[in-house]
Amino acid sequence: EMLIDKKSYALFVIDRAEAAYGIATGKRIHVQEHLVSNIMGKHRQGGQSAQRFERLIEEAAHNFFKRATEHASSYWLPHLENIQAVIVGGPGATKDFVVKNDYFHHEIAKKIAKATFDVGYSNESGVRELVENAGQLMGEIELDAERQVMNRFLEELIRAHPKATYGEAMIKQALTQGAVDTLLVSEGLRGNIIQLQCKKCGHGREEPWEVRLTRQQEFPSCPSCGASGDSIKELASHSIIESLSQMAEESNSEVTYISIDTEEGSQLMQGFGGLAAILRYPMM
């Protein structure tokens, strides 16, 4: 069940072919349903008069708009007291037609934002684009702040002397040097840093042997002698997120946790290993 907080926004995108709706709350965009219309194309079948065919198309459109808005209204009504506004978008004029012709439940209609927004599609990606386009209207939601900080990082990364870096090793180096202004950590980052030692050859006794593993992963074989299984001993273990957050605190760096539910959050996790940083100065 989607947890709805008190700073939520209802989201709705529609055109004559499809519609989708959901909710943006806290750091989450949740798309509840994607509906497809059965409105016929503009080519009429043999034996039908132009007027009758046009009437059938408009009747199908009306039924689809009614179905989509009723589904959305039913989903939002139990959460209405927590919904700040209903934001409507779509690629064409249908969005304005639906708002002006009172298709939404009267309680929902009271919360519809005055402006509608152009988006490329009326599906799940359209709902996410709606959040981007309506960012200023949704000032109280954290998703917009996440997008802004990720955009700052990406813009910095392509400069000739970037004040940005990513990856665990480079991040640790930058934190040690006090170079990190803002540390970006994906909420999808799981696993511990585990310090190991080989019982057979003693690898890890002089120089620390550290690996990053989730709870489901087994210890690796010794890189020196190839021993595995019970021959590998765990000396210490700590959370990657906790470790980096502690280093950030010591260097007065801000830590921003990025949701995995947004395009930017997915990009951080998949493209940059879940860790990135905006720096105070370029690292040569």
- The number of residues in the chain equals 284
The neighbour count for residue 233, using CB atoms within 10 Å, is 12
Please tell me the predicted confidence (pLDDT) of residue 216: 73
> What's the number of domains the chain is made of?
2
CATH code of 272's domain: 3.30.1330.30
Kindly report the pTM of this predicted structure.
0.57
Alpha-carbon distance of 119 to 125, in angstroms, equals 9
* Domain with 103 in it: 8-140
Question: What is the CATH number for 16?
Answer: 3.30.420.60
Phi-psi map region of 28: left, alpha, beta (phi>0 left; psi -120 to 50 alpha): beta
pLDDT < 50: residue spans in the chain: none
Domain finish residue from 94, 113, 140: 140
* Residue appearing with tokens 């990657």: 240
Question: pLDDT tens across 48-61, in order?
Answer: 677 888 888 889 99
Structural contact between residues 77 and 109, judged by C-beta atoms closer than 8 angstroms: no
pLDDT recorded at residue 56 = 87
Query: What's the token pair of residue 43?
Result: 């080519």
Say whether both 279 and 146 belong to one domain. Answer: yes
3-state helix, strand, coil in the chain (%, to 5): 35, 25, 35
Looking at the structure, tell me whether residues 227 and 243 fall in a common domain.
yes
User: 185 and 151, same structural domain?
Assistant: yes
Residue ending a domain, choose from 100, 117, 140:
140
Number of Cα atoms under 13 Å in the Cβ half of residue 102? 2
* 133 and 155, same domain (yes or no): no
Residue 254 covered by a domain = yes
Cα dihedral value 201, 203, 204, 205, nearest 10: 50
pLDDT given for residue 172 in this prediction:
93
pLDDT in tens, 123-134: 999 998 998 888
Same domain, 259 and 157: yes
Q: 106, 140, 174: which is the final residue of a domain?
A: 140
65 and 198 within one domain = no
